[in-house]
Amino acid sequence: MPKIIKKPVKKAKRSIRPTKPSKAVLTLDFSQVDMRHVEQVGGKNASLGEMFRNLTKKGIPVPDGFAVTAEAYWRFLDFNGFREKIDGIMGGLDVKDIDDLSDRGHRVRETIRSGEFPPELQKAVEEAYSRLSRRAGNGKPIGVAVRSSATAEDLPGASFAGQQETYLNIKGKFALTEAVRRCFASLFTNRAIVYRAEKGFDHMKVALSVGVQKMVRSDLASAGVMFTIDTESGFRDAVLVNAAWGLGESVVQGVVNPDQYYIHKPTLKKGFRPIVGKKSGQKETKIVYSEEIYSPVRTVPVPIDDRNRFCLTDDEVLKLAGWAVRIEDWYSRRAGHRQPMDIEWAKDGKTGGLFIVQARPETVQSEKNADFMEEYVLKAKGSVIVKGLSVGSKIGSGKVRVVRHLEEMNRFQDGDVLVAEMTDPDWVPIMKRAAAIVTNSGGRTCHAAIVSRELGTPAVVGTMDGTAKLKDGMEVTVSCAEGEEGHVYKGKLPFEVRRTVLKGFKRPKTAIMLNIGEPEMAFEQSFLPVSGVGLARTEFIFSNYIRIHPLALMDFNKLKDEEIKSKIAGMTVGYPDKSRYFVDRLAEGVGRIAAAFYPNDVIVRMSDFKTNEYAGLIGGAAYEPTEANPMIGWRGASRYYDERFSRAFKLECEAILKVRGEMGLKNVIVMIPFCRTPEEGKRVLATMAAVGLKRHRDGLQVYVMVEIPSNIILAEEFAETFDGFSIGSNDLTQLTLGVDRDSEQVAHLYDERNPAVLASLRSVIRSAKKTRTKIGICGQAPSDYPEFAEFLVREGIDSISLNPDTAIKTSLAIARQEAKQAPKPRAISPNRTAAIPKPFPKGGLRGKG
């Protein structure tokens, strides 16, 4: 290890010293505290008092408790003569010298733990505990959580959360006194020392308050964390709820991979049930009460049946999310601006009641600069060694350093990739030096995830076997830029960072929309300056979310292949009716995209797999014919009303009904692909109506893809059946030129810019204008060729849907083309019979209906 040269600590620039009250106040009940008391009781306790005083009467239950004040901490130090001693131990510390940091921190903590309580403090704590026991436990000593609350905690730019200790299931006056003393000592944990040094706080001018709160018996049920902002993208219209069995420390510490739920806030406020994401975690262990005095909690295995089921019902998830929204609204009013929140919750296993046990401002995503977007893009891919949950959206590479114990930290070098079972706050000094972080355990709200976001370091958590498969010295690339699933690739792979300035971006008059396939990317992509989604592909949801052929799910009990049946059973645990698995998963995927862009239009294309692609789904081979040319075979509309597949299509319709009805995401527009004739379109609409998905009911619009020459030739007849057109230039080019786009032999002839294709586009745009039908394009060509997009603008197309990575570049090209065009209405050419169309109504290009 290279020699570390110690440097004197710079004089602190910031200092926070609690204002001394005229009369010493050593404890305050939560009923006496609110956010005006941060200097006396710290951010955590001030927030608990704020909620207890104001939100319990609004139906949000917060367990009772009291705070040992910052003044009590100073009294304790002065009574024992510790100020000068601590100052002497800390003098000249270089926090980069990990060994010296550990030694000095240990000496300070031992010093504080050896101290005696002043008699008046001992009396004040015992009396406050007795009062709490009378209020909450019929006078008998109750179990309490004892939490540290620094006086600089949860201030903007100074998130001290997790820097100090928490002690759970503390019962009795002796145990409580000892827990308070240990909390005082935890102001000098290694991570807290480093944090203060980096933030410029004087160690001797930050005090510690201690919160004492009645325990919720979540050891008999579940607990977790929720945020009123997406922790990865910063999307503000979602609540993220994480849940695991037992006490909530399992989730906070990252000991388990928890269940995860996303809820859409705007439609939740309207009374809908918008759970737009739901994923079960492994939840292998839980923290429960122990009867031992010196070890009040213990970790035990979770029974296999509990691991395979969700910790919360949908009703409970929605209740928690509703509380989270109300808590955010309350704190936002106080702050004078929208304030996303980080909230801890617990469920009591005896009463079944849910409680909020902590809330603080979210201090990472909410403070990000929204004037630009940064996108990390892998330029090549290698073999994947391990997978897990991605934290953030960055990419990092370096040499693997597996660290199993704190004692191994001195082996870690700047730029290494930290690989560990999990991290806790003591690991922060080396986490700051890592190029990337990989852990076996944890979810998106675990310690490693929270710190990684704050540091801006890519992390892949919950890999299960990262420490086994990744070896010291191995060069790897850690990618969090490919959606919810993070990948650790073998070798150092090339990548680039694309930075897009959004501030002052002027949108073109032509509506720019996005083509999206991956629901987990939708929140991040919603920040692009676009008008919605022109193509939401359900095929990705089929392949990655569902993975099972819908008919195999519907016929589960009749399946003869035991291997396939066993695989389906394992994937659909908790679903006695396997069809519901399909409906729920599809609805969640579509719902997440619709939520990301709400209230803008999201055009969802119903399934457009070919027979060979359907056959590739689990159980699909038994239901799909073998076709010589699937590209022009049994696909799209022709499947939907066919008795061999119509019952599966009805499940798709049920999923859309759930998104629009139950979730309230009425911005979803349905689009039918590969519809060969107007008569076929009518048969599809009748099939949809049979399950309640009726065109124009509750504002539902149905569009059709324009990708077959018959769609061009009979455009006016198709306009009578559907509410809008969306051009699929890929298939249209293939069928216009008679070129199999997958064939290498004729690939040189495939070109969307061919005059025959352009003539077809010009024709259908004119037909749309004549019939006053909304028309857009969702094919690949505008993303690949700016001149193609410029052609469409000249022809008067209403919207152009682009791939996210080309949206800004092509938008600029379109704006330039619009600027070239005369501001007056275009003259109608002699061969055009349509009148100049009236402007579309303000607020959207929704076409007819």
Tell me which DSSP letter residue 744 carries: S
3-state SS, 747-762, equals HHHCCCCCHHHHHHHH
Q: Which residues pair with 149 in a beta bridge?
A: 209
d(CA 359, CA 351) in angstroms, rounded, equals: 22
Ramachandran class of 19: left when φ > 0, alpha when ψ lies in -120 to 50, beta otherwise: beta
Listed as own residue / partner, the contacts of 515-521 with beta carbons closer than 8 Å and 24 or more positions apart are: 515/778, 515/783, 515/801, 515/802, 515/803, 515/804, 516/593, 516/804, 518/483, 518/544, 519/277, 519/545, 519/588, 519/589, 519/590, 519/592, 519/593, 520/483, 520/484, 520/485, 520/592, 521/483, 521/804
Which residues make Cβ contacts (< 8 Å) with residue 112, sequence separation at least 6? 77, 82, 86, 181, 184, 185, 187, 188
191 within 8 A of 322, measured Cβ to Cβ: no
d(CA 528, CA 348) in angstroms, rounded, equals: 42
Helix (H, G, I), strand (E, B) or coil at 485: strand
Residue 622, amino acid: A
Tokens standing for 843? Answer: 């607020």
469 within 8 A of 386, measured Cβ to Cβ: yes
d(CA 791, CA 599) in angstroms, rounded, equals: 29
17 within 8 A of 126, measured Cβ to Cβ: no
341 within 8 A of 363, measured Cβ to Cβ: no
> Which residue numbers are catalytic?
447, 778
CA distances for 137 relative to 129, 410, 412, angstroms: 11, 48, 49
From the centroid of its chain, how far is CA 334? 26
480 within 8 A of 377, measured Cβ to Cβ: no
Which residues make Cβ contacts (< 8 Å) with residue 622, sequence separation at least 6? 552, 561
From the centroid of its chain, how far is CA 129? 39
d(CA 483, CA 50) in angstroms, rounded, equals: 37
Tokens standing for 147? Answer: 């939490």
Tell me which DSSP letter residue 368 carries: S
Using alpha carbons, select from 323, 289, 285 the residue that is nearest to residue 304.
Answer: 285
Residue whose tokens read 């000592």: 185
Using alpha carbons, select from 673, 650, 661, 641 the residue that is nearest to residue 537.
Answer: 673
Segment (H or E) for 738 = none
Helix axes 38-54, 70-80, angle to 10 degrees: 150
